[in-house]
Amino acid sequence: MEIRISPSLLSADFARLGAEAQAMENAGADMLHIDVMDGHFVPNISYGPVVMRSLRKASSMFFDTHLMISEPLRYIEDYVKAGAGLITFHVESDDDPAAVIEKIRSFGVHPAISLKPKTPAEAVFPYLASVDMVLVMTVEPGLGGQSFMEDMMPQIAAIKNEAARIGHPLDIQVDGGIDERTAPIAVGAGANILVAGSSLFHQADYVSAIRNLRMAAQAAL
């Protein structure tokens, strides 16, 4: 299993988003995690497709888009046009998950589903066969810099087991409080894509930040 690292732009300097994205790309990041918050599904507001479209011109990285929004169905096309390579939406959002997945897939973009910490793993089971990735939140969505919830590890294992049972292996992404200490815990539980915001962007040297996180994660394989 290959570990992939997706720096969360939410912890970047918003006045220099293009340069921050390029710096993470040059430092060896595998993709860029773009957190979209609407002030409704989660309390905060971040950025939307207009910002993403500008970033698309500044970076050739794969855009890993995490929609923390209500009514995702309405906005899928906007994020496809803005350059998303993968779109994650929340099973708790108000639209029919099957319809959202189908819409994402219809544009040739990878669909992924996410669940909040209080949502049981079983909530995403009906959709596992039709997604390419599940994002297990290890903090309450809405804010960077929170502490990793280790009690979410059984959720990762449950989703991985169910995916194996139905014969549909998928990527498992973890998001929230990931650093050199917690990454091996998540990888040990079965995650292979690590989102990290503050633990990467708050370091002066992005190259060593990514290298050290990758080494810590790989040690758990």
**Which residues of this chain interact with Zn ion, rule CB under 5 A?**
35, 66, 175
Q: How far is the CB of 171 from ligand DX5 (least distance, A)?
A: 16
Cα–Cα distance, 69 to 73 (Å, whole number) = 10
Cα–Cα distance, 20 to 125 (Å, whole number) = 36
Q: Which of 35, 38, 64, 171 is catalytic?
A: 35
Query: Using a CB cutoff of 8 Å and minimum separation of 24, what contacts does 167-172 make?
Result: 168/128, 168/129, 170/128, 170/131, 170/132, 170/133, 170/134, 171/4, 171/112, 171/132, 171/133, 171/134, 172/133, 172/134, 172/136
Q: Which residue is nearest to Zn ion (CB)?
A: 66
Judged by CB under 6 A, which stretch of 8-16, 87-95, 115-123, 126-134 contacts ligand DX5?
Answer: 8-16
Selected from 61, 109, 175, 194, the binder of ligand DX5 by CB under 6 A is 175
Which residues ranging from 37 to 66 are in contact with ligand DX5 (CB under 6 A)?
A: 66
Q: How far is the CB of 197 from ligand DX5 (least distance, A)?
A: 3
Q: How far is the CB of 166 from Zn ion (least distance, A)?
A: 26
User: If you search the block for the tokens 């046009």, which residue do you land on?
Assistant: 81
132: annotated active-site residue: no
Return the amino acid letter for 22: Q
Sequence-separated (6 or more) residues with CB below 8 Å from residue 92: 41, 115, 116, 119, 123
94: annotated active-site residue: no
Q: How far is the CB of 138 from ligand DX5 (least distance, A)?
A: 8
Judged by CB under 6 A, which stretch of 14-22, 73-81, 87-95, 137-145 contacts ligand DX5?
Answer: 137-145
User: If you search the block for the tokens 């996180």, which residue do you land on?
Assistant: 213
What are the angstrom distances between the C-alpha of 17 and each of 10, 107, 136, 213?
A: 10, 26, 26, 22
Selected from 3, 4, 5, 11, the binder of ligand DX5 by CB under 6 A is 11
Judged by CB under 6 A, which stretch of 12-20, 83-91, 161-169, 173-181 contacts ligand DX5?
Answer: 173-181
86 contacts ligand DX5 (rule: CB under 6 A): no
Cα–Cα distance, 35 to 102 (Å, whole number) = 21
* Site residues (vs ligand DX5, CB under 6 A): 8, 10-11, 33, 35, 66, 139, 141-146, 175-178, 195-199
